[in-house]
């Protein structure tokens, strides 16, 4: 250990002795390590820990599947969900979620908020304590209980002014009074973008419904149970239901997937491509620094020869040179963290708030202990990569020949020349890969922006309307409401045309829609085409 400490002291002295080369190496590594730190912060936030839930690996999403229709992500029917709860053996909790559009009104303010109805086990499943008050529990589903709501931290701050006495007050949602029973923790951002949570009571006639699939189901697997065991457990229940209820459940299966895997499916590939590009940048930086180290150590050939002559072993020389390289790399890592922090702040300010609210993990986009540990690891690895080849080359015993041969420099020997040529070729190859990849990405993004949508996108505005379900329950009422909206908008000056649509073209949402011929009764489940 004392020898290693002496190597560190000597390495710091050598860094001070050649400040120009040291500064250039530190800057080069800072760019490479900083890029990797920033991108890994994305990986950490978006892929590894998008939610701050305890034991996140045990939280799953449960889908029904209909292989006959090639459907693998079908939401659950209420009665099927009820049977899963009653018959499963591998879950601590199962909870159902159903989105609803809520119009928050009162006190001169009208705002559409993103709301979700949840069953009693929802908050217990996630395991995140409230910031104020309490969360929805089984008592809130008792007959005659006043409607209650839990509000998000963001809505509490934005609309309710962060009032510490908000618990017990009423909010008007879709014209109905809801008593605020709690404010959710800032760590509770599920479903992504949620602003209110209200009870979802499935004990009424909806609890026997097996035809309408609209419940998003999540579960927490018991300690010691695997995902495959949980899937087999629910699949056995689905098989029994298929035999007992062939009209509605025949051929239905189950798919259980971790929540993180399910929600990051669309972003995983893109983020990993960025991570791959950052690794190439780091490798390029290491090769550049290796070339600098080669030139710097070449000037110290007599020093190396003298140390060998005094009895230093080859391993001691390699260790000394690697320590010097790692010290430079650690300095680069420190500067890289500063660069990454600055770059992340710039990026965070450039992301629209809507995207931050609706992409899992972006709220946790920061440099935390895991990111710092990653940075330290790649700093040490970079130091080894950058210093290993020069260290091995100049630790060879033939360096002692320089004590006798002053005519020929080791730096100009054939071995050193081959190593330098190899490093230069590696630099060019890595740079070429990065340039080609960047060019393809820019070309793809440009093509995406100029893709023909099939309609004229200029002068087109869109907005979303939340129609209160308790006020507009019948199809005739809903159609009349939209007809009235269209007429009023068409009467405005500057409006050329108006239309309504369920999902915007190329939008995020999609629906399975059943069409019924006018004047004919809806078909039964057994008569529907599959």
Question: What are the sequence ranges of the domains in the chain?
Answer: 2-50+268-449, 56-263
Highest mean pLDDT among 40-44, 67-71, 467-471, 486-490: 486-490
Cα 374 to the center of its chain, rounded Å: 17
pLDDT at position 74, please? 87
Q: Enter the tokens of residue 171.
A: 């909010």
If one compares 62 and 397, the residue with the highest pLDDT of the two is 62
Give bridge partners of residue 198 from the DSSP assignment.
117
Task: Using alpha carbons, select from 476, 296, 480, 288 the residue that is nearest to residue 385.
Answer: 288
Q: Is the pLDDT of residue 415 over 70?
A: no
pLDDT at position 353, please? 75
Q: Is the pLDDT of residue 509 over 60?
A: no
- Taking a C-beta distance cutoff of 8 angstroms, is the pair 171, 106 a contact? yes
- Taking a C-beta distance cutoff of 8 angstroms, is the pair 182, 52 a contact? no
Classify the C-alpha dihedral 321-323-325-328 as positive or negative: negative
Mean pLDDT computed over every residue of the chain? 80
pLDDT at position 434, please? 72
pLDDT at position 233, please? 93
- Taking a C-beta distance cutoff of 8 angstroms, is the pair 95, 117 a contact? no
How many Cα atoms occupy the beta-carbon half-sphere of 501 within 13 Å? 12
Cβ neighbours of residue 487 under 8 Å, at least 6 residues apart? none
Q: What is the arithmetic mean of pLDDT over 46-51? A: 81
How many Cα atoms occupy the beta-carbon half-sphere of 255 within 13 Å? 16
If one compares 39 and 395, the residue with the highest pLDDT of the two is 39
- Taking a C-beta distance cutoff of 8 angstroms, is the pair 136, 123 a contact? yes
If one compares 244 and 277, the residue with the highest pLDDT of the two is 244
Task: Using alpha carbons, select from 355, 427, 357 the residue that is nearest to residue 386.
Answer: 427
Q: What is the arithmetic mean of pLDDT over 361-377? A: 83
pLDDT at position 469, please? 66
Phi, psi of 24 (to 5 degrees): -65, -40
Among 116-120, 367-371, 503-507, the minimum mean pLDDT is found in 503-507
If one compares 397 and 223, the residue with the highest pLDDT of the two is 223
Give bridge partners of residue 173 from the DSSP assignment.
104, 176
Classify the C-alpha dihedral 284-287-288-289 as positive or negative: positive
Give bridge partners of residue 468 from the DSSP assignment.
none
pLDDT digits (tens, 9 = 90+) for 289-310: 777 777 676 666 666 667 666 6
Distance CA 98, CA 100 (A): 7
Task: Using alpha carbons, select from 113, 119, 111 the residue that is nearest to residue 101.
Answer: 113
Task: Using alpha carbons, select from 481, 342, 358 the residue that is nearest to residue 50.
Answer: 358
Cα 416 to the center of its chain, rounded Å: 46
């Amino acid at each position: 250990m004392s020898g290693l400490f002496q190597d560190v002291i000597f390495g710091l002295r050598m860094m001070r002795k050649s400040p120009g080369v040291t500064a250039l190496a530190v800057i080069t590594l800072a760019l490479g390590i900083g890029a990797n730190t920033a991108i890994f912060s994305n990986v950490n936030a978006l892929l590894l820990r998008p939610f701050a839930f305890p034991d996140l690996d045990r939280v799953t999403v449960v889908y029904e599947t209909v292989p006959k229709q090639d459907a693998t992500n079908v939401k659950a029917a209420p009665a099927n969900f009820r049977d899963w709860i009653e018959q499963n053996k591998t879950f601590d909790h199962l909870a159902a979620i159903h989105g609803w559009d809520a119009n928050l009104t009162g006190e001169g303010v009208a705002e559409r908020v993103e709301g979700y109805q949840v069953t009693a086990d929802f908050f217990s499943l996630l395991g995140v304590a409230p910031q104020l008050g309490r969360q929805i529990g089984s008592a809130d589903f008792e007959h005659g209980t006043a409607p209650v709501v839990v509000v998000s931290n963001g809505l509490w701050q934005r609309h309710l002014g962060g009032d510490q006495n908000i618990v017990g007050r009423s909010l008007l949602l879709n014209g109905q009074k809801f008593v605020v029973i709690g404010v959710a923790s800032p760590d509770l951002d599920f479903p992504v973008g949620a602003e209110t949570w209200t009870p979802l009571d499935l004990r009424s006639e909806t609890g026997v419904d097996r035809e309408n699939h609209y419940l998003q189901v999540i579960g927490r697997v018991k300690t010691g149970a695997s995902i495959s065991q949980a899937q087999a457990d629910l699949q056995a229940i689905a098989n029994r239901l298929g035999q007992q209820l062939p009209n509605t459940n025949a051929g239905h299966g189950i798919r259980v997937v971790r929540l993180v895997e399910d929600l990051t499916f669309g972003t995983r590939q893109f983020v990993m491509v960025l991570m791959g590009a950052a690794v190439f940048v780091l490798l390029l930086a290491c090769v550049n620094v290796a070339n600098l180290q080669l030139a710097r150590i070449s000037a110290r050939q007599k020093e190396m020869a003298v140390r060998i002559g005094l009895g230093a072993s080859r391993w001691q020389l390699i260790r000394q040179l690697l320590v010097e390289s790692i010290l430079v790399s650690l300095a680069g890592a420190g500067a890289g963290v500063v660069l990454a922090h600055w770059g992340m702040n710039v990026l965070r300010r450039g992301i629209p708030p809507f995207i931050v609210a609706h992409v899992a993990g972006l709220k946790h986009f920061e440099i935390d202990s895991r990111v710092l540990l990653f940075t330290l690891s790649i700093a040490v690895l970079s130091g080894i990569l950058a210093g290993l080849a020069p260290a091995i080359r100049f630790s060879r015993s033939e360096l002692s020949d320089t004590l006798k041969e002053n005519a020929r420099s080791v730096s100009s020997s054939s071995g050193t020349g081959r190593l330098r040529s190899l490093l230069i070729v590696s630099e060019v190859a890595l740079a070429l890969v990065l340039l080609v990849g960047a060019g393809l990405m820019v070309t793809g993004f440009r093509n995406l922006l100029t893709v023909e949508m099939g309609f004229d996108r200029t002068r087109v505005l869109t907005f979303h309307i939340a129609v209160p379900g308790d006020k507009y329950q019948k199809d005739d009422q809903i159609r009349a409401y939209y007809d009235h909206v269209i007429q009023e908008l068409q009467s405005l000056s500057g409006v050329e045309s108006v239309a309504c649509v369920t999902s915007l073209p190329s939008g995020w949402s999609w629906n399975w829609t059943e069409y019924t011929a006018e004047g004919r009764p809806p078909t039964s489940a057994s008569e529907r085409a599959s």
